[in-house]
């Protein structure tokens, strides 16, 4: 499929994109380094394999984010928004997960990175920051068995 994307520009001037700008991408190749994407149907970019938290397929179109314009003009892309936004979105995923499971979950800061990635499609670092935020705002309690929604009295 990569041959169809030969027209893409390999490099970009710094001022074309801003860091963490949302862009439209289409996946056109999987490589040893990661996933090659067409950005706004004009540029080529790379999502590094160690930053992929979901299964993707060739031809898939989605929103992504400009992570970095490297010194050589090549574009590093992230499938996830800037970390602060990712933490916020993850808090919502965790709350949804708790609601679907009767207010309790076996997941906590001791859970394996693999299990966290599989369930929430984020890194363990982002997950821990999200549960920390929920705990700080008295929305969950953390136990040896996992996390639980805090009951609120109305």
Per the DSSP assignment, residues forming a β-bridge with 148 are 104, 141
> Looking at residue 65, what is its pLDDT?
93
pLDDT of residue 154: 47
The pLDDT assigned to 143 comes to 87
Q: Which two tokens stand for residue 32?
A: 């040893």
Q: Name the CATH code of domain 2-78 (choices 2.120.10.10, 2.60.40.1120, 3.90.25.10, 2.40.50.140).
A: 2.40.50.140
* Closest CA relative to residue 76, chosen from 28, 41, 33, 42: 33
What pLDDT digit, counting tens, does each position of 97-136 carry? 999 999 999 999 889 999 998 999 888 989 999 999 999 9
CATH architecture classification, 83-149 = Orthogonal Bundle (1.10)
- For CATH 2.40.50.140, the residue range(s) in the chain are 2-78
CB 150 within 8 A of CB 140: yes
Across-strand partners of 22?
65
Tens digits of per-residue pLDDT, 42-83? 999 999 998 888 889 999 999 999 999 999 999 999 998 887
The Cα 14–Cα 134 span in angstroms is 37
What pLDDT digit, counting tens, does each position of 24-33 carry?
999 999 999 9
pLDDT value for 3: 57
Overall average pLDDT of the 139-143 stretch: 91
The CATH 1.10.10.10 portion of the chain extends over 83-149
CA distances from 33 to 28, 48, 97, 141, 144 (A): 14, 6, 32, 39, 38
pTM value is: 0.63
Dihedral Cα 33, 117, 59, 63, nearest 10 deg: -100
Ranges of H-type helices in the chain = 83-100, 113-120, 124-136
pLDDT at site 88:
86
């Amino acid at each position: 499929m990569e041959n169809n994307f030969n027209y893409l520009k390999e490099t970009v001037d710094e001022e074309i994109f801003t860091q963490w700008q949302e862009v439209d991408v289409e996946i056109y190749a999987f490589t040893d380094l990661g996933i090659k994407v067409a950005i706004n149907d004009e540029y080529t970019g790379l999502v590094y394999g160690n930053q992929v938290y979901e299964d993707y397929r060739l031809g898939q179109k989605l929103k992504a984010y400009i992570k970095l314009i490297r010194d050589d003009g090549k574009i590093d892309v992230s499938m996830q928004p800037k970390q602060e936004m990712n933490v916020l979105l993850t808090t919502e995923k965790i709350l949804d997960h708790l609601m679907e499971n009767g207010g309790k979950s076996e997941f906590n800061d001791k859970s394996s990175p693999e299990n966290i990635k599989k369930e929430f499609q984020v890194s363990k670092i982002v997950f821990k920051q999200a549960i920390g935020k929920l705990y700080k705002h008295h929305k969950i309690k953390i136990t040896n068995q996992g996390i639980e929604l805090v009951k609120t009295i109305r």
